[in-house]
Homo-oligomer: A and B are copies of this chain.
Amino acid sequence: MVSQTPHLTGPAPAPNVAAIRYELITLGDELLLGLTANSHLTFIGAALGRRGASLTRNVTITDEAGAIADQFRESWARSDVVITTGGLGPTCDDRTREVIAGVLGQDLVFEPAVLADIEARFARLGRKMTDNNLKQAYRFSRGEILPNANGTAPGLWVEQDGKLLVMLPGPPNELHPMFTEQVLPRLAERGLVARREAYVQIRTAGIGESALEMRLQPLLAPHGAALNIAFCAHQGQVDVRLSSPDGTRDEAGLEAIAKDCATLLGDDFVCYGHDSLAKVCADLLRAGEHTLAVAETATGGLLANCFTDIVGASKFFAGGCVCYSNESKMQLLDVPEDLLLQHGAVSAENAVAMAAGVAERLGADYGLAVTGFAGPCGGTRENPVGTIYLALYTPGGVWSRRLSQSGPRGAVKQRAVNGALDWLRRELVRGKRGGSRPPSG
């Protein structure tokens, strides 16, 4: 295979970064055994994608030395840049450094400064450094160290044969800052990624993948092969990503197409980019100087957690209640006992009482409530497993709606949350436009 060799040193001559062959090797029995998620693919793929580059392949293999050597040889031969993750740590199954040095014919040399860092780290944590940590202080003889501010194993940067090898530690809290703060700037310096983002994504909600494709077809089809279109559905949201495979559409051109799509989609359009529904709601709440409180049964804290994942959530988020017992609904949210006895906890009436109760208790402008049966147990003939009642308390009144979800407990919870968030979003958008009609239900 002939590869477009990137320009690895000197000033960047702005090559076509999309043509650079990136391959990611994620190492670890724990990945293949499903003991831990391969979040490195998600993180590194997204970070490169935002800079116009993309992974041609991600291969996950076992920690076994022979497998590492074989895979690295194969990936190195066909790629311009190989990134590895994992296997740099202190334990006996961490052998990536040694094996790859062997394949590249490099020696490992001891780096006293790294050992000093590791020792200082253990001292700070009040733990004794065990001897198996020593091997992390070795670098490739013709390579550099990428310091690790959040763990013991530094990353390694190796340029050889006109190619680049980047070796990163496995723990995400170590890898993420190392990649963002050290690897991306170095890649940009060498012209291996763009200096800024290079595609357009539209996020939608409340419309299925196939219906969305049909709806956008009149706008997108005329562009033919000059436009790359990728759909990605996840729990009630569908993303559409537009890019220009050959550079014939520049950024402004893509943005114009995306803008037409957004206009066509109306309120089904959530945002450009990757913001979560909760983040979009948060921005709308902050813009309107509104506050929100939530009350949950079936989603059990997941709704509150979506908001509290947002930095600075205390500016708009008053708090939430997770009410698993009738007692807690009465105690925390002032839901009348009579109402619970008459209508049951999974009812529109209770959802409304919860939304109003939490907003009033916490002095919030908006109250969002979710109740229902997440399953797999529970449910009645009238309200089977997957039945969710939402209620939205607003300055203009309080409304409820009913959803039917299917799938395992986790999926029902996530979709109920997304349904609640999307409803709040539509109501906030309508409020911003000055609309006064009740939320669609």
Given A230-B30, A362-B325, are A91 and B409 neighbors across the interface (CB < 8 Å)?
no
Residue in chain B with minimal CB distance to A177: B408
- Chain B, residue nearest A232 (CB): B30
The answer for the CA separation of A318 and B332 in the assembled complex, in Å, is: 12
Asked whether, in the complex, the Cβ of B309 is within 8 Å of the Cβ of A317, the reply is: no
Contact flags A205-244 to B (C-beta < 8 A → 1, else 0): 0001111011000000000000001111110000101000
Q: Which of the 9-residue segments A59-67, A109-117, A154-162, A394-402 touches chain B?
A: A59-67
Contact B309 A300 (CB under 8 A): yes
The interface residues of chain B lying within 8 Å CB-to-CB of A374 are 308
Of B127, B133, B173, B362, the residue contacting A407 (CB under 8 A) is: B173
**A233–B30 Cα gap in the complex (Å)?**
10
Task: Tell me whether chain A's interface is mostly helix, strand or loop, or mixed.
Answer: mixed
CB of B311 within 8 A of CB of A377, answer: yes
Contact of A46 with B41 at beta-carbon distance under 8 Å, contacts A324-B318, A408-B176 already known:
no
Question: 8 Å CB contacts to B: which residues of A372-390?
Answer: 374, 376-377
Please, how many angstroms separate the alpha-carbon atoms of A346 and B406 in the complex? 40
Known pairs A300-B313, A313-B324; A407 contacts B32 (CB<8 A): no
Closest to A234 in B: B36
Work out how many copies of this chain go into the complex: 2
Q: Are B49 and A33 in contact (CB under 8 A)?
A: yes
In the docked arrangement, what's the CA distance between A311 and B373, Å? 11
In the assembled complex, A304 has its CB within 8 A of some CB on chain B: yes
- Is A31's CB under 8 angstroms from B57's CB? no
Asked whether, in the complex, the Cβ of B309 is within 8 Å of the Cβ of A319, the reply is no
Q: Which residue of B lies closest to A214 (CB)?
A: B130
Question: A141 at the A/B interface (Cβ < 8 Å)?
Answer: no
Q: Is A367 an interface position by the 8 A CB rule?
A: no
In this assembly, does A93 line the interface, its C-beta being within 8 Å of a C-beta of chain B? yes
Q: Is residue A102 within 8 Å, beta carbon to beta carbon, of the partner chain?
A: no
Q: Report the bound CA distance from A411 to B151 in whole Å.
A: 13
Question: Per a CB cutoff under 8 Å, which of B58, B201, B232 touches A36?
Answer: B232
| Closest chain B residue to A329, Cβ basis | B319
Q: 1/0 per position for A321-349, CB-CB distance to B under 8 A?
A: 11111011001100000000000000000
Asked if B319 contacts A324 (CB within 8 A), the reply is yes
A308-B324 in contact given A33-B45, A60-B57 (Cβ < 8 Å)? yes
Please state if A230 and B93 are interface contacts (CB–CB under 8 Å). yes
Q: In the complex, A56 Cα to B171 Cα: how many Å?
A: 22
Q: Is the CB of A324 within 8 A of B314?
A: yes
Specify which of B63, B132, B274, B409 is in contact with A210 (CB 8 Å cutoff). Answer: B132
Q: Which residues of B contact A42 (CB under 8 A)?
A: 31, 34, 36-38
Which chain B residues lie closer than 8 Å to A41 at the CB level? 31-32, 34, 37-38, 60
Residue of B nearest to A314 (CB): B324
The smallest beta-carbon distance between A239 and chain B, in angstroms, is 6
Q: Mark A287-302, 1 if CB is under 8 A from B, else 0.
A: 0000001100001111
Query: A280–B287 Cα gap in the complex (Å)?
Result: 43
A92 contacts partner chain B, Cβ-Cβ < 8 Å: yes
Q: Is residue A276 within 8 Å, beta carbon to beta carbon, of the partner chain?
A: no
A253, CB-defined interface residue at 8 Å: no
Report B-chain residues with C-beta under 8 Å of the C-beta of A332: 319, 321, 332, 361-362
- 4 residue pairs, one from A and one from B, having the closest CB atoms: A300-B308, A34-B46, A301-B304, A34-B45
Given contacts A30-B230, A300-B309, 7 further A-B contacts (CB under 8 A): A28-B232, A33-B54, A35-B49, A35-B232, A37-B42, A91-B213, A300-B304
Q: Which residues of A contact B (CB under 8 A)?
A: 28-39, 41-47, 49, 54-63, 67, 71, 89-93, 127, 130, 132-133, 150, 171-173, 176-177, 201, 208-211, 213-214, 229-234, 239, 241, 274, 293-294, 299-309, 311-314, 317-325, 327-328, 331-332, 361-363, 374, 376-377, 406-411, 413
A-B contact pairs, 20 of them (CB 8 A): A29-B241, A31-B41, A32-B49, A32-B58, A33-B55, A33-B230, A35-B45, A35-B274, A38-B58, A41-B60, A55-B60, A58-B60, A130-B214, A293-B328, A300-B308, A301-B307, A302-B308, A314-B324, A314-B325, A320-B321
